[in-house]
Amino acid sequence: MVFRSSFPDVDIPALPAHELIFRGLAEKADRPALIDGISGLTITYGEFATAVDRLAAALAERGVGKGDVIGIFAPNTPAYAITLHGVLRAGAIATTANALYTAEEVASQLTDAGAKMLFTVSAFLERATAAAKLAGIEDVFVFDKADGHTSLSDLLASTAPAPEIEFDTAEDLAVLPYSSGTTGRAKGVMLTHRALVANIVQTDAMMDTANVNRVLAVLPFFHIYGMQVTLNHALAIGATVITMPKFDLPEFLRIIAEYRTDRVYIAPPIAVALAKHPIVDSYDLSALKVLFSGAAPLDEELAEAVHKRLGCKVKQGYGMTEMSPVSHTIPDHRDDIAIGTVGLIVPNMENKVVDLATGEELGVGERGELWCKGPNVMKGYLNNAEATAATLDSDGFLHTGDVAVIDENGIVSIVDRVKELIKYKGYQVPPAELEALLLTHPRIADAAVIGVHDAEGEEVPKAFVVRQAGADDVTADDVMTFVAERVAPHKKVRVVEFLDAIPKSASGKILRKDLRAREAAGN
């Protein structure tokens, strides 16, 4: 059966994403749009809109036009928001790279995306310039200042007219974030302007938007959760976004207290700190009304502990990069929905629960793979028809790779995962990427990677390794160091077990279920 949202459909404006952000600009022009939580720099909506126009003009002067791809590799600052929407205003597409990536990882994304330019910060220049060189990119701009590089302020000084762009919002891509989807290596997720706009107005219906005034943006803007939920949605409803370049608990608490932040989006590891760290009691967090968790499952007991300590509502949602990203959430006004669920289907969406073995559509209370359809679903994976076909079917349903149950009240619970992806502190870790890297080690004959849980309950990558003949002296530390030197910190292998052979099917596919069974048995 098809499960439909219990909310009425919402109208989706035929606007590009940046125009939705500035809708009603005259009424909010003098209101703070962006505040740098570290320095206190404040940018009003009027100043923000002007800066976006100026950057679009500067990009057009440099030959950027509709469909060009521009890379952004930076931490959260107001400049990130200006750059993201300036790129969109110029008719171009933003591909956002993980701030923890190595030069090689950034270069791989830029190359695959066909990026024409790269924006970064001076602190990232060593990696950024190395990545740009590998990707064949000459123009590397910086948000701040760096010798030999044009700065964002230089670009904003452009006096050229802002370009006139005709947008087909249903077809034109706005952003190209990278996700591993349900399996495999990272792929460019093609999200149109309509998909972004749709998800913003879809989530409006689930929120008490009139009481969202100040939003803390600690979740990275390079991730779709940070970009859409924390930044774009907050701006579209006229709230003030306070940026943090990285998570630091004392600074996080100071900003909430000092700026009287009323809504904060987090990933579960932050909830652990809020529930347990003694320093939390040193700050006045009374302005906080809603703490919203996403990116990974939030434990119900942990959520209750945070609620009791802070006195705010604790909510949870579900989504994927491929859905721009929100497909389910616990509405602000529904305190009767258990935090252990992911809440209700957002407006304009349909769900199916499908039997993994037979493909049969299941009903209320039955467990199967969750499929989702709606205007917020991606167009497909960039230059990867095979992966697109495996994830997005001919009827428009996205196969999430997660196992769900939908009850008689339409409340959705995610109960298992089909997909191979590892979620470490909310970050995606594709096993296939680590396996490919391990196989480049001259003394490793074969390898497989799965997610296991550490002592704190966090999912971490574990490598099963087969040594080359005569390489018995290769240790677990050797393997972990080899990987750590070549990947972003969240992708590190944290457990290693040596095997005589990796279990595989007749076709050569790694039998991860056998490795998981081995792990569960304690072998």
For residues 72 and 65, the answer to whether their CB atoms sit within 8 Å is: no
Sign of the Cα torsion 225, 227, 228, 233 reads positive
SS3 267: coil
Place of tokens 């989807």: 181
Tens digit of each residue's pLDDT (9 = 90 or more) over 193-234: 999 999 999 999 999 999 999 999 999 999 999 999 999 999
- The DSSP result for 374-432, as a single string, is STTS-SEETT-HHHHHHHB-TTS-EEEEEEEEE-TTS-EEEEEE-S--EEETTEEE-HH
The tens-digit pLDDT sequence of the chain (523 residues) is: 999 999 999 999 999 999 999 999 999 999 999 999 999 999 999 999 999 999 999 999 999 999 999 999 999 999 999 999 999 999 999 999 999 999 999 999 999 999 999 999 999 999 999 999 999 999 999 999 999 999 999 999 999 999 999 999 999 999 999 987 666 678 999 999 999 999 999 999 999 999 999 999 999 999 999 999 999 999 999 999 999 999 999 999 999 999 999 999 998 888 888 988 999 999 999 999 999 998 878 888 889 999 999 999 999 999 999 999 999 999 999 999 998 899 999 999 999 999 988 999 999 999 999 999 999 999 999 999 999 999 999 999 999 999 999 999 999 999 877 777 788 888 888 887 898 899 899 999 889 999 999 888 889 999 999 999 999 999 999 999 999 999 999 999 999 999 999 998 665 678 888 898 888 887 6
Q: Delineate the domains of the chain, giving CATH numbers in brackets.
A: 42-166 (3.40.50.980), 422-520 (3.30.300.30)
Tens digit of each residue's pLDDT (9 = 90 or more) over 371-428: 999 999 999 999 999 999 999 999 999 999 999 999 999 999 998 777 777 888 888 8
CA distance 38 to 59: 28
Helix 431-438 vs helix 476-484: crossing angle, to nearest 10: 110
For residues 71 and 59, the answer to whether their CB atoms sit within 8 Å is: no
Tens digit of each residue's pLDDT (9 = 90 or more) over 37-50: 999 999 999 999 99
